[in-house]
Amino acid sequence: MYYVKKTIEVSMAHSLSLNYESKCTRIHGHNVVVTVYCKSKQLNENGMVIDFSDIKRVVKDLLDHQMVNDRVEFNPTAENLARWICDRIPHCYKVKFQESEKNTAIYEKEDE
């Protein structure tokens, strides 16, 4: 099995829909660090699991300098965004979504 990991920093804004009072229901921004983990039993014709620049492009296109609520149909929590990113990158099995130094969500696909 081959594994690759790519870390990307993006700036984004969102607001959360919560069933309790929180300042996070107001629009606010983050400089997010997204770490994408991919794996494959075989390498592609270029000798890669996936090109690192392809991972970066997908994450940047999805999130960088975006009001995320305008781009998704779900509550854009860190957990939901980690899964959303994972579902859009070939061979991705895990995404770490770090909103701040102390707040991180991780989504990992179950073994299939």
Q: How far apart are the first and last CA of the chain?
A: 15
Residues 6+ apart with CB under 8 A from 54: 89, 90
User: Whole domain around residue 73: which residue ranges?
Assistant: 2-108
What pLDDT digit, counting tens, does each position of 31-43 carry?
999 999 999 999 9
What pLDDT digit, counting tens, does each position of 10-22 carry?
999 999 999 999 9
Closest CA to 86 of 51, 38, 43, 44: 38
pTM summary value:
0.93
Of the listed ranges 17-21, 70-74, 107-111, the one predicted with least confidence: 107-111
Pairwise CA distance, residues 67 & 16, whole Å: 12
Domain of 19, CATH number, reads: 3.30.479.10
Pairwise CA distance, residues 94 & 96, whole Å: 7
Ramachandran angles phi, psi of 86, nearest 5°: -55, -40
